[in-house]
A = this chain, B = another copy of it.
């Protein structure tokens, strides 16, 4: 049986999970690990507040502890429970904010983040500072839509393009990171409109998870 990467959408909205599944298609590989996307039943409909993020840590870690998988991806841009999950298993656990931002650094000097809501921004800023990469941040701006509202393609894309332009032209971003797993399907259209690279973070995290599975580094270290 091949290895399996478990991608966990920690909100309970299946539409988001299905959008993540669609985003995984280019990463599937006959000889490589399977990529399974699951919804965290215990999660809130969308992770919009710090409390939403913190509320999923325990159920998420239970899933990770009990699942038979070679690596895990937490598919929410708050990377909820990332460091607890790394204690819960010796297998690789990757967060989409961490991987999306690090990958963006290979695309341009200053990255911009497109967030869903204004109140997400300080949460992101704390995390980017904790990562120690704040010198590379051009800005983090919200589109003012909650997770559920991302289903409205027209409004969502229009706002993403507006905010993307501001990050590019006013704040000097030369690469954008989409700050919510639920934005995945707008990547290509946004990149076409803005004309700078746009990073979809779940794809970057799954790509890094595949590499980890193939390389098998540090698996037996209790470390960290």
Q: Select one of B31, B106, B119, B191 contacting A94, CB under 8 A.
A: B106
A99 to B104, CA, bound (A): 11
Q: Mark A16-41, 1 if CB is under 8 A from B, else 0.
A: 00000000001101111000000000
Q: Which B-chain residue is minimally distant from A51 (CB atoms)?
A: B84
A139 to B119, CA, bound (A): 19
In the complex, A1 has a CB within 8 A of chain B = no
Q: Judging by beta carbons under 8 Å apart, are B107 and A218 in contact?
A: yes
Interface residues on A, range: 35 or more
A86 contact set on B, CB distance < 8 A: 50
A136 contact set on B, CB distance < 8 A: 131-132
Q: Name A47-104 residues within 8 Å CB distance of B.
A: 49-51, 53-55, 57-58, 61, 81, 83-84, 86-88, 94, 98-99, 102-103
Q: Mark A209-224, 1 if CB is under 8 A from B, else 0.
A: 0110011111001011
A189 to chain B, nearest CB (A): 13
Q: Judging by beta carbons under 8 Å apart, are A30 and B31 in contact?
A: yes
Q: Judging by beta carbons under 8 Å apart, are A50 and B83 in contact?
A: yes
A83 contact set on B, CB distance < 8 A: 50, 123, 126
Q: Judging by beta carbons under 8 Å apart, are A223 and B207 in contact?
A: no
Q: Name A122-136 residues within 8 Å CB distance of B.
A: 122-123, 125-127, 129-136
A134 contact set on B, CB distance < 8 A: 132, 135
Asked whether A214 and B223 contact (CB < 8 A) given A32-B29, A108-B122, the answer is no
Stretch at the interface among A4-12, A155-163, A194-202: A194-202
Q: Judging by beta carbons under 8 Å apart, are B102 and A125 in contact?
A: no
Q: Select one of B49, B61, B172, B196 contacting A221, CB under 8 A.
A: B196
**Which residues of A approach B to under 8 Å, CB–CB?**
26-27, 29-32, 49-51, 53-55, 57-58, 61, 81, 83-84, 86-88, 94, 98-99, 102-103, 105-110, 119, 121-123, 125-127, 129-136, 139, 172, 174, 187, 191, 195-200, 203-204, 207-208, 210-211, 214-218, 221, 223-224
